[in-house]
Amino acid sequence: MPIVKLWTNEKTLSRSFLPFLFAIFVGLVPSFSQSHSVTANIDVTKTGAPISKYIYGQFLEHGGDIVNNGIWSEMLVDRKFFYPVSTSAPTPPPVMGNAGGNPRFRRTPTRWWAPVGGPENVTMDTKAPYTGDHSPVISLESAHPHGLSQAGIAVRKGKIYSGRIILSGSPGAAVNVTLVWGKEQADRQTVVIRNLGSDYHKFPLKFTAAADSDDANLEITGTGSGSVQVGAVSLMPADNIQGFRPEVIAALKQMGFGVLRFPGGNFVSSYEWRYGVGDIDKRPPIFDPVWHAVQPNDVGTDEFLTLCRLLGVDPYITVNAGFGDAWSARELVEYTNGAATTPMGKWRVTNGHPAPYGVKFWGVGNEPWGDYQMGAMSLPQFELKHNLFAKEMRKVDPSIKLIAGGAMPDVMEGADQSRRINGQYVPDYLSPADWTGQMLLNCLDNIDMVSEHYYASGTEHTDMKLQKKVPIDPPLSFIEWQRAPAVQVRAKYEHYQEYLKRIPALRAKPVPIAIDEWAYFGGGPNSYKTVPAYAWAFHEMFRHSDIFQMGAFTFATAMMSENRTEAVLNPTGMLFKMYRDHFGTIPVEVTGDSPQPKPTFPIGGDQPAVNPGSDTYPLDVSAALTDDHKTLAIAVLNPSDAEQSIRLSVKNAKLAVAGTLWRMAPESINATVQVGKKPEVQVEEQSIGALPEIMIVRPFSVNIYSYPMQ
């Protein structure tokens, strides 16, 4: 059989291009140069547990504006007036708890409501506010308009914007709500509102912008006698989909990522879910002490479940086991899953959602092992709390799947939480600082999956002698930098094997892992740089598909390049979509003749004893059949910065003489996809002939070869 170079255009990297690649990683060890083809043997008769669609899951947290601006369509900031109307940026409340020492939590608003016609004419009513702690009161006069305005709104020419304003006021008052998109008198449109009364009423708003602007202004002014009270105001593009940004829904829906986790994250440990249901305009704005930002409570439980329906994914709700209590968690389960005859089910019906949602996945708290967490407590106390939550939640719906907040030794070491509990930097298995081990020992009957998190780093590692994280010096080679996320997956696999040895009950009732927060730092926004690393992490999860059955990437918004009016999948989102669409679901065995090298660093904590990857170094290969066993997909990852060759041998199966190749192989590891610019990364689709004996694989490329089985 001939050697086939599967390049769309038959060319190799130029000599001038290779130094450019090396410049990206200044000081890195030179790339691996392969002198011969490695062999990968694929045996379709040796299969593993099905790969869950939930592996491709995503995570959303109310961290600042991640949800409220990134996915929700609301264009106004502080639309329910948490802050007083002010001539300058309002001063946020002080940072509380452990966040106080971190400057990134200190956020001063960049957009706010400013007075029009003099600050003395706008005061805040604290006695009978529409919602929250206070509402603006505008004192009127007939000759000059008084009111408030907000700048920094993005509008596009010809686009329709709709909304509402909630007002009360004196009978003779006239209110003008004006959208201003330019400096000329004609660059505006006004909605006039009259016939106000002492009770608050809702009035519709509708505008059509006649020009593009990223700094449009919404003005609310009144004239006449007496006063006007503003309860709340909202403005969205009229093409929003049940409140969500249509371009974001269109981008994310392509991915079919299986499951979406919400509302946190650290946020959930101080979240009151009841503030996020009911009349959306009456929900009080609060100040989130975790992310130090105003939370309008516009996107609550019903909105999240609507989002899941729009995206075609299953919801995964984390309940507040920080400041929260078991009764509140039970009531939330009843709100989502209870019959209309139950107290919370009746409330759900009143809020416009007659049928139960049937939410299956429930997380009990977020990272309860962290001393930075709101409501943090000792492990023995939390074990009691977890069991109490489980008991109450299952009283409502015994069919729910409970996901426990775990932390294996890699996490307890990495977050430096073990040392504070028992003085060990890396905890011994089943010691008082082994959070996951102790939870599995004492709460196993109330655990269906265990939550694990990791945020990989390619620039620092665990020094077991110094017992701390230290910079990696010299820097990792190109391949080892790409390996870092898969290393974290492998570490969790090895820890799990130790639990199986030590906990007989776990062998009788295996509890799979949900890596429901994970990411790799260092790639840059919308860059391809970490895409090979994420593919490697997928492969390591596939190799142990009986253990890793759910993921939730941090965050779903990290799958997109977006601005305030546009959104497209970025390289990471494209990778997730490519695997979800084209990789199989029944993993098959892959062996080879070129083992991965030994780990770079000594074993312990987040350093596994064995490096992840197939025996096809420097490549990594994973293969899987479709559900019906009629198609074989072979994923070949080249995490090196050099062209590599591989010989693929498929055993116990005959493949068709024609197949399809899907590939991500940009010319630069730093290639990006950004809205408004020509994309530098794409998923190439190519029809190919019979599986060649030897393939030449592009540098830092991700390739999926798909062949029908004969």
Could you give the C-alpha distances from 244 to 67, 74, 316, 317, in angstroms and in order?
A: 10, 8, 19, 19
Using CB atoms within 10 A of its CB, is residue 14 exposed (0-12), middle (13-18) or buried (19+)? exposed
Give, as one character, the DSSP assignment of residue 518. E
Torsions phi, psi for 438 (to 5 deg):
-70, -35
Rg of the chain over Cα atoms, rounded to whole angstroms, equals: 28
Domains assigned to the chain: 3-50+588-708 (2.60.40.1180), 58-73+261-303+314-447 (3.20.20.80), 97-237 (2.60.120.260)
Q: Give the model's pLDDT for residue 203.
A: 98
Bridge partners, 586 (sequence order): 625
Residue count of the chain = 710
**DSSP 3-state assignment of 251?**
helix
Torsions phi, psi for 302 (to 5 deg):
-65, -40
Torsions phi, psi for 341 (to 5 deg):
-85, -10
Query: CA-CA distance, 608 to 216, in Å (whole number)?
Result: 54
Q: Give the model's pLDDT for residue 523.
A: 83
Answer whether 23's CB lies under 8 Å from 654's CB: no
Q: Which residues, including other chains, have CB under 8 Å from residue 142's CB and lie 6 or more apart?
A: 223, 224, 225
Bridge-based pairing state of the strands 694-697 and 3-5: parallel
Answer whether 381's CB lies under 8 Å from 421's CB: no
Query: CA-CA distance, 530 to 669, in Å (whole number)?
Result: 8
**Kind and range of the H or E run holding 392:** helix 379-396
Give, as one character, the DSSP assignment of residue 97. G
Answer whether 542's CB lies under 8 Å from 614's CB: no
Bridge-based pairing state of the strands 513-520 and 38-47: unpaired
Q: Give the model's pLDDT for residue 143.
A: 87
Q: What beta strand segments (E) does 355-487 contain?
A: 361-364, 401-405, 449-456, 460-463, 468-471
Averages of pLDDT over each 10 residues, the chain, 710 residues: 36 33 36 71 97 98 92 97 95 67 60 95 97 97 94 97 97 96 96 96 98 97 96 98 98 97 96 97 95 95 98 98 97 98 98 97 97 96 98 98 97 95 95 98 98 95 89 94 97 98 97 98 91 98 98 96 94 98 97 96 93 97 97 98 95 95 97 96 96 93 96
Q: Which of 242, 307, 313 is nearest to 74 (CA)?
A: 242
Query: CA-CA distance, 707 to 657, in Å (whole number)?
Result: 8
Answer whether 448's CB lies under 8 Å from 511's CB: yes
Query: What is the rounded (10 degree) CA torsion for 73, 75, 80, 84?
Result: 150
Residue by residue, DSSP assigns 188-236 as: EEEEEE----SS-EEEEEEEE-SS-EEEEEEEEEEESSSEEEEEEEEEE
Fill in the amino acid letter for 378. S
Answer whether 502's CB lies under 8 Å from 430's CB: yes
Query: CA-CA distance, 31 to 292, in Å (whole number)?
Result: 44
